[in-house]
Amino acid sequence: MQTMDIDKDTYANKPRKKDYIGVTFSANFQWWKRPSGVAAVCLGLLCVLLLAGIIGLSVYYNRIIGHYYSAERFQTSSLNNLTKERDQLKTSYNTLTKERDELQTRYNTLTKERDQLQTRYNTLTKESDQLQNRYNNLTKERDQLQTRYNTLTKGRDQLQTRYNNLTKERDPLQNSYNTLTKERDQLQTSYNNQTKERDQLQTRYNTLTKEKDQLRTSSNTLTKERDQLQTSSNTLTKERDQLQTSYHTLTKEKDQLQTSYNTLTKERDQLQTSYHTLTKEKDQLQTSYNTLTKERDQLQTGYNTLTKERDHLKEELNKQSSGWQKFESSWYYLSTEKKSWTESRQDCLKRGAHLVIINSKKEQEFIHEWSGCLDIYLGFHDTNTEGVWEWINDGALGQSSAPGTTYWRDGEPNDADQGEDCAQLSKKSLQIYCLRPEEQSTMVVSKAWTLHQHFQGFPKASDFHLREETLPQPRDGQVLLEAVFLSVDPYMRPYSQTMMKEGDVMIGSQVAKVIQSYNPSFPVGCHVVSDCGWRSHWVCDGAELTPVLPDWPQDIPLSLALGAIGMPGLTALYGLEEVCEIKKGETLLVNAAAGAVGSVVGQIAKIKGCRVVGCAGTDTKVSYLKQLGFDQVFNYKTVTSLEESLREAAPHGYDCYFENVGGKFSSVVMPQMREYGRIAVCGSISMYNDTTPQTGILSTPQTGKLSTPQTGILSTPQTGLLSTPQTGPYVHTYMIFKQLRMEGFLCARWKHKHQQSLRRLMAWMTEHITGTGPTTSLRGPHLVITATVSGMPDPVKTGTRTHT
Ligand X SMILES: NC(=O)C1=CN([C@@H]2O[C@H](COP(=O)(O)OP(=O)(O)OC[C@H]3O[C@@H](n4cnc5c(N)ncnc54)[C@H](OP(=O)(O)O)[C@@H]3O)[C@@H](O)[C@H]2O)C=CC1
Ligand Y SMILES: CCCCCCC/C=C/C=O
Site residues (vs ligand X, CB under 6 A): 489-491, 568, 571, 592, 594-598, 616-618, 621, 660-661, 682-686, 745-747, 800-801
What is the rounded CA–CA span in Å between residue 477 and residue 36?
165
- Looking at the Cβ atoms of 509 and 536, the one nearer to ligand Y is 509
Radius of gyration of the chain (CA): 66
By CB under 6 A, the residues from 544 to 603 that bind ligand Y are: 567
Q: How far is the CB of 510 from ligand Y (least distance, A)?
A: 10
Q: Which of ligand X, ligand Y, none does residue 345 bind (CB under 5 to 8 Å by kind)?
A: none
Helix or strand (DSSP H, E) at 611: strand 611-616
- Looking at the Cβ atoms of 117 and 532, the one nearer to ligand Y is 532
Q: Which of ligand X, ligand Y, none does residue 801 bind (CB under 5 to 8 Å by kind)?
A: ligand X
What is the rounded CA–CA span in Å between residue 321 and residue 198?
126
C-alpha 490, offset from chain centre:
28
Q: Which of ligand Y, ligand X, none does residue 531 bind (CB under 5 to 8 Å by kind)?
A: ligand Y
- Looking at the Cβ atoms of 430 and 721, the one nearer to ligand Y is 721
Q: Is 364 within 8 Å of 358 (Cβ atoms)?
A: yes
If binding is defined by CB under 6 A, does position 509 make contact with ligand Y?
yes
- Looking at the Cβ atoms of 514 and 685, the one nearer to ligand Y is 685
Q: Is 516 within 8 Å of 443 (Cβ atoms)?
A: no
Tally Cβ neighbours within 10 Å of residue 194: 19
Q: How far is the CB of 255 from ligand Y (least distance, A)?
A: 44
C-alpha 725, offset from chain centre:
19
What is the rounded CA–CA span in Å between residue 680 and residue 572?
10
- Looking at the Cβ atoms of 163 and 657, the one nearer to ligand X is 657
From candidates 507, 515, 642, 796, binder to ligand Y by CB under 6 A: 507
Q: How far is the CB of 719 from ligand Y (least distance, A)?
A: 13
- Looking at the Cβ atoms of 430 and 784, the one nearer to ligand X is 784
If binding is defined by CB under 6 A, does position 750 make contact with ligand Y?
no
Q: How far is the CB of 238 from ligand Y (least distance, A)?
A: 48
What is the rounded CA–CA span in Å between residue 124 and residue 128?
6
Dihedral angle, C-alpha 669, 674, 679, 683, nearest 10 °: -20
If binding is defined by CB under 6 A, does position 721 make contact with ligand Y?
no
Tell me the three state secondary structure of residue 515: strand
If binding is defined by CB under 6 A, does position 683 make contact with ligand Y?
yes
If binding is defined by CB under 6 A, does position 531 make contact with ligand Y?
yes
Tally Cβ neighbours within 10 Å of residue 439: 15
Please state the length of the chain: 804
Q: Which residues contact 400 (CB under 8 A, 6 or more apart)?
A: 357, 359, 391, 393
If binding is defined by CB under 6 A, does position 459 make contact with ligand Y?
no
Q: Which of ligand X, ligand Y, none does residue 596 bind (CB under 5 to 8 Å by kind)?
A: ligand X
Amino acid at 60: Y
Size of the site for ligand Y (CB under 6 A): 10
From candidates 31, 407, 491, 730, binder to ligand Y by CB under 6 A: 491
Q: How far is the CB of 496 from ligand Y (least distance, A)?
A: 11
Q: Is 40 within 8 Å of 110 (Cβ atoms)?
A: yes
DSSP alpha helices (H): ranges in 322-375?
A: 341-350, 361-370
- Looking at the Cβ atoms of 380 and 688, the one nearer to ligand Y is 688
- Looking at the Cβ atoms of 51 and 499, the one nearer to ligand Y is 499
Residue 396 carries which DSSP code? Answer: S
Stretch that binds ligand Y, among 208-216, 318-326, 504-512, 690-698 (CB under 6 A): 504-512
Render 510-564 in DSSP notation, one character per residue.
EEEEEEEES-TTS-TT-EEEE---SBSEEEE-STT-EEPPTT--TTS-GGGGGTT
Tell me the three state secondary structure of residue 351: coil
From candidates 6, 145, 746, 787, binder to ligand Y by CB under 6 A: 746
Residues making contact with ligand Y (CB under 6 A): 490-491, 507-509, 531, 567, 683, 746-747
